[in-house]
């Protein structure tokens, strides 16, 4: 069967149309799969893990309250004086990182004439009850720790979906509370960095 020139042009036109249609369908499918993959990664909290700080660690010193602490270089730092942060006078340093589920890392200094770890833990107990709408919290763990040769206590607790990790350190004229606030979903994501920050805490030597 012989095809006329007109028939050939018609067939070529149809083939080009089918080729464009197939390419368009492939592009559309790839776009759909890409969007689906991104949504799945976000839903499973995989992307926030990729955004965890991977850079250098820096040291920030607060001479007024006689301590230094290390942090990832892409965390923001806010230091405070006697007035503290807003209504929380005990907060002297806040480390923050712009990531989902991270609500801040706080260094609190509470002056005391006879500071002990027991007093620090009792202070933390009262504070947790005060910030809870029900006046209660759920204690997940309460363990002993050691920060640069100095005895410490660590409490992990939950209020609703929020997780609070508090490390208590007693010094000569005050006690220190280092708090991580995050969500139950993201706790494991930030616990390693919190542990490293806490164990970098150093009391400055007096001149």
**39 and 60 share one domain:** no
**65 and 146 share one domain:** yes
CB count within 10 Å of CB 82 equals 8
Parent domain of 168 = 54-203
Select the more confidently predicted residue: 74 or 198. Answer: 198
Sign of CA dihedral 35, 102, 156, 145: positive
**78 and 129 share one domain:** yes
State pTM to two decimals: 0.73
**What local confidence, expressed as pLDDT, does residue 168 receive?**
98
**65 and 131 share one domain:** yes
Select the more confidently predicted residue: 43 or 76. Answer: 76
Chain segment 161-191, per-residue pLDDT in tens:
999 999 999 999 999 999 999 999 999 989 9
Going by C-beta distance under 8 Å and a sequence separation of 6 or more, which residues neighbour residue 174? 65, 109, 110, 111, 112, 115
Could you give the CA distance from residue 80 to residue 83 in angstroms, rounded to a whole number?
7
Lowest average pLDDT, out of 33-47, 60-74, 85-99, 192-206, goes to: 33-47
Going by C-beta distance under 8 Å and a sequence separation of 6 or more, which residues neighbour residue 183? 101, 103, 161, 162, 163
**128 and 32 share one domain:** no
**109 and 13 share one domain:** no
Could you give the CA distance from residue 105 to residue 198 in angstroms, rounded to a whole number?
10
Chain segment 99-145, per-residue pLDDT in tens:
787 889 999 999 999 999 999 999 999 999 999 988 899 999 999 99
Could you give the CA distance from residue 194 to residue 50 in angstroms, rounded to a whole number?
17
Task: Please give the average per-residue pLDDT across 79-94, as a whole number.
Answer: 93
The answer to whether residue 139 is domain-embedded is yes
pLDDT band at 45 (very low <50, low <70, confident <90, very high): very low
**163 and 145 share one domain:** yes
Structural domains counted in the chain: 2
The answer to whether residue 171 is domain-embedded is yes
**98 and 160 share one domain:** yes
Please answer whether residues 117 and 151 qualify as being in contact, where contact means their C-beta atoms are separated by less than 8 angstroms: yes
User: What is the average pLDDT value for the chain, to the nearest integer?
Assistant: 83
């Amino acid at each position: 069967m012989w095809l006329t020139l007109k028939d050939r042009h018609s067939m070529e036109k149809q083939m080009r149309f089918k080729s464009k249609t197939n390419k368009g369908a492939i592009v559309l499918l790839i776009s759909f799969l890409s969007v689906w993959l991104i949504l799945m990664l976000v839903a499973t909290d995989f992307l926030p893990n990729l955004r965890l700080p991977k850079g250098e660690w820096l040291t920030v010193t607060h001479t007024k309250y006689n301590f230094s602490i290390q942090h990832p270089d892409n965390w923001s730092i806010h230091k405070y004086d006697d007035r503290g942060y807003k209504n929380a006078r005990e907060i002297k340093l806040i480390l923050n990182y712009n990531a989902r589920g991270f609500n801040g890392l706080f260094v609190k200094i509470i002056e005391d004439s006879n500071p002990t770890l027991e007093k620090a833990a009792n202070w933390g107990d009262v504070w947790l009850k005060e910030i809870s709408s029900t006046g209660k919290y759920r204690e997940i763990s309460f363990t002993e720790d050691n920060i640069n040769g100095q005895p410490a206590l660590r409490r992990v607790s939950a209020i609703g979906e929020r997780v609070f990790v508090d490390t208590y350190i007693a010094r000569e004229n005050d006690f220190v509370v280092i708090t991580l606030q995050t969500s139950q979903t993201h706790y494991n994501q930030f616990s390693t960095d919190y542990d490293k920050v806490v164990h970098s805490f150093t009391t400055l030597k007096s001149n």
